[in-house]
Amino acid sequence: MPARNPRTRTPSTAEADAWADVLVRHQLLHAAVLAPNGQWLAQDHPESPVRVLDGPAAMVELAAEIQHRIRTTRNRTR
């Protein structure tokens, strides 16, 4: 599998917020909330523990991991 392309810039809070919204809207995360200190609180399912993500880059990385997992699973079922 080819390596992911490295980012040329740091993700903004707006970009992380957009990804969080998409992940929750498509039910890939139960919740994703920006805390006042800039960290993100993410929860996979209602009963799962809350993960603390350290800033926008971590939220965007989580989105990339979820996309990778979906694509890998989809390719295996074809």
Structure tokens at 65: 């991991």
pTM of the model: 0.82
- How far is C-alpha 32 from the geometric centre of its chain's CA atoms? 9
Residues in CB range of 52: below 8 A, 6 or more apart:
39, 40, 41
Residue type, 14: A
Q: Give the number of other CB atoms < 10 A from CB of residue 35.
A: 10
- Reading the chain (78 residues) residue by residue, the pLDDT tens digits are 455 666 788 999 999 999 999 999 999 999 999 999 999 999 999 999 999 999 999 999 999 999 999 988 876 665
